[in-house]
A and B are shown apart, each in its own frame.
Chain A
Amino acid sequence: MEAASVEQTRPAVKKRRKSAVGADPSTPWWMWFAVAAIVIFCLLPFYWLVNISLKTGPDLSSSDIFPPNPSLDNYTSIFENSAFTRALANSAIVSLVTTFLGIVVGAFAAYALARLKMNGKAILLGVVLSITTFPQIAIAAPLFRLWSDIGLYNTLIGLVIPYLTFALPLSIYILVSFFREIPRDLEEAALVDGATYFQAFRKVVVPLAAPGLATTAILTFIAAWNEFLLATTLTSSQAARTVPVAISQFTGSSQFEVPLGTQSAASVVISVPLILLVLLFQKRIVAGLTAGAVKG
């Protein structure tokens, strides 16, 4: 009797939900307005950067919505500038090495934290997590002194080491949540079949956790590519300067030109790969960013 009445009400609820959610024609006009506002808010500033980057000479003092004489001069000039190309290479090396080491070391640590029986695991994870809230400035001054003393100042390794400190807690935190979702039975089956812990990890867990590893890699890469405070504190020349530092120190392509033209061009160049990465891996990134937020 009760079951029947539930059956009866269900279709009605479904129908109502559909209309409330706003299927095709019933989407209110203001919803489209809101969507348009969000798109403009997010993209217009970036468009302005592209717009400025295509302007040269006298156009660089006018606020036209479209560049009156679009030219790629700013782009050719930055690629002829060794300060920029060298910095691009430095950034790529530092970010890729940080990402690779962060993933490998982080995966082992996260696996241990997710699976093995250990005392004080929750405290350990809490401490690791709290590192991500440390202000970088707190380690900048001592690293600046120390790196100068032991010869790591103005080197790429000198940047990778502190980047790992901030990358590892993040990757451990994200990976622990991914590893936990992998059923333990799978590894136990492998162990029963005579696999070692390491084999079970490498052959069973890693392939299953691939989406989590990809998410972590992308977030780590973006964080390292973006880092500015330590990069500006721990480098002094082209030998180790990364792209954000190089761009912030740009001068005009000639002495009398506003550097905003070349700065904008360089900004577009270093943003495009990241934007593409984000568009391609949108779902993974959102999953990684929201990993902690929803669970609680």
Chain B
Amino acid sequence: MVAPSMVLIAIVALWPIIYAIWLSMHEYSLRQAGLSRWASPAGFGNYQDALQSAEFWSATRVTFIFTIASVILETILGLAMAMAMHSAFKGQGLLRTVVLVPWAVLTVVTAIMWKTIFDPNLGFVNSLLGTSTVWLGQEPHALMVMIFADVWKTAPFMALLLLAGLQVIPGEIYEAAKVDGATAMQRFRKITLPLLMPALLVALIFRTLDALRAFDLPKVLTNGANDTTTLSLLAQRTFQENRLYGEGSALSILTFIIVMAVSFAYIRLVGGNIRGMTEE
């Protein structure tokens, strides 16, 4: 019974990756047809080209700045939202629903939304700040808008995961700490944070891996202009728009390796949890 789905997953997930590795080690020629186009093996030439290109390192830098900044902001904001939702018993139902709206909005729509909000004429950001900044048209600003859009879309998701974590912490622990004279800050640091850690780490993994492969936001917001080209966007542009299949595949594989390295680092960090999730 497991077989059909495993075969499908193997064919469509594992096999293309093997094919991508093969593509990345060959030079593509537009002059010949079919498989013979791949007549010239290039060894690690495509990887060498990629690793020596300024574009690759710039995309890596952008991807990491975007990931680190948005994940940190999302975690702080998500935690604050989760704690507010946890305490506000009256409004909790409303909040749970409202918070799902950004999560349900498509990423492409999120990009269009923030484009209109930061638009120099149409948006309210400039009228609010009394400026006339062309936000998406200059360098640090465009990436800031991208981070902001990502935080808006995913902080609520973080909040829901963390709220579920908060709700399993028994209230008696807080009572006992209060009786012993612990301050609110002490209760947060010594009780909430450690007990929330498992939920927090899982949320962090999900979000980090998601942010590392960001494509939709930069594609629609700026199409990679003004220092917003992420690794996925660079790879996709290389093989689709420029038809450099070998180099595009090499970039894809490099992105894949980076994402896998980060996820292995996380799994080492929280190994017990992942195992707990898959064990019976």
Contacts and interface: CB of A to CB of B under 8 A. Distances in A.
Quick one: which of B99, B108, B270, B280 has the most chain A CB within 10 A? B108
A278 B113 CA distance: 19
Contacts, number: 305
A229 B20 contact: no
A141 interface: yes
A232 interface: yes
Nearest to B84: A34
Interface string A279-296: 100100110011011111
A296 B23 contact: no
Contacts of A164: 8, 12
A49 to B, nearest CB: 5
A17 B236 contact: no
A108 B4 contact: yes
Given A63-B127, A277-B104, A290-B164, A295 B239 contact: no
Interface in B148-197: 152, 156-157, 160-161, 164-165, 168, 171-172, 174-175, 178
A203 B97 CA distance: 34
Given A60-B122, A164-B12, A138 B256 contact: yes
A32 B89 CA distance: 11
Contact of A137 (B9, B124, B215): B215
Residues of B contacting A: mostly: helix
Contacts of A144: 239-240
Most B Cβ at <10 Å: residue of A20, A135, A165, A247: A135
Interface in A158-206: 161-162, 164-165, 168-169, 172, 180
Nearest to B116: A52
B1 A279 contact: no
Nearest to A263: B112
B126 A260 contact: no
A93 interface: no
A122 B279 contact: yes
A61 B199 CA distance: 45
Interface-centre pick from A109, A138, A140, A247 (highest chain B CB count, 10 A): A138
B222 interface: no
A229 B236 contact: yes
B260 to A, nearest CB: 8
Interface in B101-155: 101-109, 111-117, 119, 121-124, 126-127, 152
A21 B89 contact: yes
Interface stretch (B47-55, B66-74, B244-252): B244-252
Contact of B199 (A24, A122, A137, A293): A293
Contact of B156 (A20, A42, A113, A125): A42
A45 B90 CA distance: 25
Contacts of A233: 236, 240
Interface in B6-49: 6, 8-9, 12-13, 16-17, 19-20, 23, 34
Contacts of A145: 19, 23, 245
Contact of B5 (A105, A140, A292): A105
Interface stretch (A69-77, A78-86, A209-217, A264-272): A264-272
Contacts of A34: 80, 84, 88
